[in-house]
Each structure stands twice: as C-alpha cells, then as structure tokens.
Amino acid sequence: MITQLTLVNFKAFRRLELPMGPLTLLTGLNSSGKSSVLQALALLRQSFGPDRSTSPEEGLLLNGELVEVGTARDVLHDDFGSADDLLATDAPVVGFVVDDEVDDEFDDGNVGRFIARYDLQQPDEDVMEAYDFPGWRGFLSLPFQYLHADRITPAVTYPRSRQVAIDRGFLGVRGEHTVNYLRYNAEREVPDGPLRHPNATSPQLLDQTVAWMQELCPGVNLQATAIEGTDFVRLSYGFGGTAGINATRRRRPTNVGFGLTYALPIVVACLTTTPESLILLENPEAHLHPKGQTRMAALISAAAATGAQLVVETHSDHVLNGVRLAVKRGDLRPDDAVIHFFRGNGSGAEVISPRVDEDGMLAQWPEGFFDEWENSLDQLLD
Ligand SMILES: Nc1ncnc2c1ncn2[C@@H]1O[C@H](COP(=O)(O)OP(=O)(O)O)[C@@H](O)[C@H]1O
Ligand SMILES: [Mg+2]
C-alpha cells in the first residue's frame, strides 16, 4: 500500500507530501489540485507499468491511455523550486516520491523516486526524460482501475475488447469496458467478506452487482450480452420490482435513468478489488441521489476494508458521511480512512487532514469543508 505520495514541481504543487491510507478521500475547492494527485499516480502507471507499449526507458509519458496532461510545459509547476533534495542537477525536474509499505514482515517498506527532467529546449514534448527511476516498481504492476469523472453515458452498445476488458481486466478510464467485463465475468465469485451483499441471490459478480445497484434503484436488474457477429456488447435493465404486464420487459440504457449507467463502473470496480488493488475514483457520487451516494461510500469503504487501496476525489457530503458511518459501524478502521481537504489559493496548495475517530467524528472541521449546509441553514433561520 502507498503510505505517502510526494509531488515535486507537479502542476499545482511546488511540493506536496500527502499521507495515504486504504481509503484516501480528496476533497476541497474546485481547481485545488485533487485530480492532479490521481493523475500523478496514473502518469507513473502509464509510463512505468506493465501496459506501456513502448519502453519505459523512454521516459514519463504525459499523454497515454490513462491520462492526457499535455506537454512538459503544462506539467512543470509554474513557480518550480529547486530539486536539491531530490537530485544534484541544475535542470528543473518533476518528481514523484512514493512510499510503499508491503504487508510482509520481512519488508520494511520501499521508497520509489521517479524523477523526470524538464528539457528547456523542448518544453512542448509530451514525453519527459526519465532522469532517475527505481528498479523497484512494485505498486505499478498491481491490479489497477482509474475511473475519470467523465464516464460512460447510457448507450445502445458498448465496446467488446478482449484485450482490455478480459485479458487485462481493465474497465477503461470512462468505464467503457465495464459491460463487456461484466458479461465475461458474470459468474466469477465475489470473495466472502465485506464486499458481499447480504441480499444478493448469489456470490456471483453479476448478482452482486445487481444487489448493489438495487441500493441505488430498488428492484433494478441487469443483463450484459454480446451482440453476435459484431464487436459490441449490450446492456439492458429490467425492473422486476414494478409489478404488472411489463415487469419482465427489458429496457435499453438510453431509456433508463442516467445515474444508473454512470454508477455501474464504480460498482464493478469496487466489487472486483483484490487486497492488492489500487483504485482511483473521481466523483463516484456523480448523478446519484443523496442516499445512493451514502451507499456508494459504504461500498467503497467495504472495498478498502478488503485490503485494497482506494483514492477517491469527491465533492459529496454524503460520500464523506458514508465513510464516517462505515467507521462507526466498525466496517473500516478509523486510521484506514484518510481525509484531505485541499484549500488551494492560486499560489500554492494547502491541505488540511481532519482525522476520523471510532465514532465517525472528525477531530477538526476547517472553514469551507462541507459546511455549506450549515451556512445556508443559518441564513434561512436568520
Ligand atoms: N503547471 C502548473 N503550474 C501551476 N499550477 C498549475 C499548473 N497546472 C495546473 N495548475 C493548477 O492546478 C489546478 C487544477 O488542479 P486539479 O487537480 O485539476 O484540481 P481539482 O481536481 O481539485 O479541481 C488549477 O488551479 C491550475 O491552475
Ligand atoms: Mg478534479
């Protein structure tokens, strides 16, 4: 598990040292640097992980399958500082330092320093020279998902890629391979433990997905089928709960609420975590009703409780509260939920990290941190 990520001269950060846990919540103002943290991990993965098609020796790949951050000029922090503590070089560098703790009594942790050099002659290149990177790349080869805020919308068909969805088990950054993954792995069992939904009809992935989706929309069920003779798959919904002549009729995603399809990749990513997984999620709450958001946080907490590591960017009080409730119920240890509040002020990022206690209470409540409900209420009651 990554216990700390340090970013040097990367986008909004001159230097950021960010402790991480099994579940790390990134919250805070717009444009305060939350997504940049996820992008940093994704950049390392796409540059030095197992799925890079060209040689990792070629350097930090700024535009790839996981993330497209532009050119070296875009990535280097505007007010970049010296990197004396990283390297003896005059050239500006962008650095990522990853502290990784392996659950192995013989292993006392690893520190990986990935440093890319900014070439003053070629600021518009989208590959940065890998100036120093470790032989050790443990966390970069573990099971991985990264779901962007901009995900699949309801569609008539979805892609059917054997290589991405089945061989690699990757859902796609927009979740576009989720339906095919679900079709192929429908009968795969969700291991006994916190992720298993008690009301599901079986431990199999499709039934478990349906049970968690029913938390968002009671009575819903799903089918994922191949369209023979094409390289597409189809998703359909049924609403068995609504009695009547059409109870068994299937509906295509385009005729069903937007939120269900939008949430599906998050549900599948959580249900398929393994204790080694690293899962990056942007706005899992998007398009869900408030209770659905809280339940989504219960699922995310359950995934973290299996030993996986999840890093989640959120704007939702309900996601925050869902995590606090998971701690209070004893589903997640208080120290396993690490909450960061980013308060960027344009010239630098400030991060406040309120701790959660075993009752789900927060040790501090900084101004601007999910306090809008109270602010509005004060004005209403005034
Ligand atoms: N090269 C750079 N130097 C300084 N700041 C940058 C650079 N690139 C992006 N930023 C800043 O990063 C912020 C965007 O970060 P992002 O992670 O997308 O925010 P969030 O996800 O919190 O909305 C913006 O404030 C932007 O000005
Ligand atoms: Mg963001």
The ligand 1 atom at the shortest distance from the C-alpha of residue 36 is 17
Distance 35 CA to ligand 1 centre (A): 8
Query: How many other C-beta atoms can be found within 10 angstroms of the C-beta atom of residue 350?
Result: 14
Q: Which amino acid is at 246?
A: N
Beta strands in 269-333 (DSSP E): 278-282, 309-313
Tens digits of per-residue pLDDT, 144-165? 999 999 999 999 999 999 999 9
pLDDT tens digits along 26-72: 999 999 999 999 999 999 999 999 888 888 888 999 999 999 999 99
pLDDT band at 113 (very low <50, low <70, confident <90, very high): confident
Which one of the ligands is nearest to 149 CA? Answer: 2
Bridge partners (DSSP) of residue 145 are: 279
Averaged over 187-209, what is the pLDDT?
97
Q: Is 214 in the pocket of ligand 1 (CB under 6 A)?
A: no
Q: Which atom of ligand 1 is nearest to the CA of 78?
A: 3
Residue nearest to atom 12 of ligand 1 (CA): 12
* Any ligand 1 atom below 6 A from CB of 92: no
Say what the pLDDT of residue 56 is.
Answer: 80
Distance from C-alpha of 276 to C-alpha of 263, rounded to nearest angstrom: 23
Q: How big is the chain, counted in residues?
A: 382
Establish how many alpha carbons lie within 13 A of residue 168's alpha carbon, considering only the half-sphere containing its beta carbon. Answer: 16
CA distance 44 to 77: 17
Residues carrying CATH 3.40.50.300, the chain:
1-143+273-382
Q: Are 113 and 16 in contact (CB under 8 A)?
A: no
- Sheet bearing 13-19, strands edge to edge: 13-19, 2-10, 93-100, 110-117, 127-132, 60-61
* Four-residue CA torsion sign, 369, 370, 371, 375: positive
One of 1.10.3720.10, 3.30.470.20, 3.30.1360.120, 3.40.50.300 is the CATH number of 1-143+273-382, namely 3.40.50.300
- DSSP 3-state assignment of 251? strand
Question: For the chain, what is the largest distance between any 2 Cα atoms, rounded to a whole number of angstroms?
Answer: 74
Is residue 347 lining ligand 1, measured as CB closer than 6 Å?
no
Segment 73-98 shows an average pLDDT of 80
**258 contacts 218 by C-beta, under 8 angstroms:** no
pLDDT band of residue 269 (cuts 50, 70, 90) is very high
Ligand 2: centre distance to CA 101 (Å): 27
Q: Are 8 and 83 in contact (CB under 8 A)?
A: yes
